[in-house]
Amino acid sequence: MNLSSVDLNLLLVLHTVLKEKTVARAAETLSVTSPAVSNALARLRQLLGDPLLVRRGRGLVATPRALEIAPELENAIGALRRALNERFDPFTTRRRFAIALSDADQAWSVPPIASAVAHQMPNVQLQIVTLDTLEAEDGLASGLVDALMGPEPMHQAEPTLHREDLYEDDAAFLINKSFRALKGGRLTAAQFNALRHVDTWLVLGRPSRGHRYFEEFLERNGLKRTAALIVPNFFTAAMVAASSELASIMPRRLAERFASMMPLKVLPLPGPALRFTQQLIWHDRTHNDPGAILFRGIVRDVMRRPLVGRRIRRTVSVEDR
């Protein structure tokens, strides 16, 4: 039997009559008239080829076919009621929540986010998705991810996307501590332009919108860089800078973290600071979902904490090192 040809309301009527034992009580429970219940039973009898319920005194007795159907109806209707009425419970849900992050945020933000999610939703699965995967799969719209964390210019304004600011950061210059050309002075525009750089392309092997935004900033301020090496992530860029005379530019909070682990020093860019706003972005598909709202709230609270080094504003010169 093709389920699409069945009026599912008829099954609800049968389920109610089986429980109430009379048409009158079933009609009262369903808030309909007794003739409406009788009419529904007649349609269902014709559909299934079975009388389903027969009279005995003032009540009704189920046929073997109806008794066979009864427990399945109970389970199915009970599951539907739970699905429609049950509220999101963060302590029992086993949902998967996914967030797309750059490699910078993967290195810096995943540990505190994972800890906070585990504390507030202990049974969920947290998945970290790369920006490559997000772009390739159209993750926000397709349902692959619940949220994206990225710099403001990364995604253009779209009517289906929602966004809010999380924190500010600035671009910093990372170079080997022993690099001879910079000893005893500040980094000038001429020195910057003379250096060879490790460039980082983050999305599908091509410059991302954020990358293009940065290149436009350099051009406006008379700065240029010669890329001697192109790598897919900031960690590789930092490793190369620590073992060579190639320079790398990355978000300051990440540069500071690498400098604490490798023989690197962090300098401000020549000229004005390149500041950018990191945003939380999500699709209209999950805008009103209770679970997604809680998940975004957890990410928002973690990323706005003032004591985890996410609002570094101090500039560093060669002399500071």
- Same domain assignment for residues 285 and 160: yes
How large is the average pLDDT for residues 203-218? 68
Count of other CB atoms within 10 angstroms of residue 163: 17
Cβ atoms within 10 Å, residue 197: 22
Q: In this structure, is residue 92 part of a structural domain? A: no
- Domain of 265, CATH number, reads 3.40.190.10
- Answer whether residue 114 shows pLDDT above 90: yes
Amino acid making up residue 239: M
Distance CA 251, CA 174 (A): 10
Among the candidates 58, 85, 112, a domain finishes at: 85
Q: In the predicted model, is pLDDT for residue 254 greater than 90?
A: no
Asked whether residue 225 falls in the same domain as residue 78, the answer is no
Q: Are residues 45 and 111 in the same domain?
A: no
* Residue 35 reports pLDDT greater than 60: yes
* Total domains, the chain: 3
* Domain match, 179 and 118 both: no
Three-class DSSP labels, the chain: CCHHHCCHHHHHHHHHHHHHCCHHHHHHHHCCCHHHHHHHHHHHHHHHCCCCEEEECCEEEECHHHHHHHHHHHHHHHHHHHHHHCCCCCCCCCCEEEEEECHHHHHHHHHHHHHHHHHHCCCCEEEEEEHHHHHHHCHHHHCCCCEEEEEHHHCCCCCCEEEEEEEEEEEEEEEECCCHHHCCCCCCHHHHHHCEEEEECCECCECCHHHHHHHHHHHHCCCCCEEEEEECCHHHHHHHHHCCCCEEEEEHHHHHHHHCCCCEEEEECCCCCCEEEEEEEEEHHHCCCHHHHHHHHHHHHHHCCCCCCCCCCCCCCHHHC
26-35, 258-267, 304-313: least confident range = 304-313
Amino acid at 60: L
| Together in a domain, 219 and 256 | yes
User: Which neighbouring-strand residues pair with 214?
Assistant: none
- Expressed as residue numbers, the domain containing 55 is 3-85
Bridge partners, residue 170, by sequence? 275
pLDDT, mean over the chain: 82
Q: Is 138 left (phi over 0), alpha (psi -120 to 50) or beta?
A: left
Q: Taking the CA atoms of 63, 67, 70 and 72 in sequence, report the sign of the dihedral they define.
A: negative
Residues 26 and 73 placed together within one structural domain of the fold? yes
Predicted model pTM: 0.66
Residues 155 and 177 in one domain: no
Q: What's the distance, CA 56 to chain centroid?
A: 59
pLDDT range class, residue 320, cuts 50, 70, 90: very low
Q: Which residue has the higher pLDDT, 232 or 211?
A: 232
**Residues 254 and 295 reside in one and the same domain:** no
In this structure, the answer to whether residues 106 and 160 fall within a common structural domain is yes
Q: What average pLDDT score do residues 193-212 get?
A: 71
pLDDT at residue 316 is higher than 60? no
Query: How large is the average pLDDT for residues 154-169?
Result: 78
Confidence band of 22 (pLDDT split at 50, 70, 90): confident
Place 1 in a pLDDT band, splitting at 50, 70 and 90.
low
> Would you call 5 exposed, middle or buried from its count of C-beta atoms within 10 A (0-12, 13-18, 19+)?
exposed
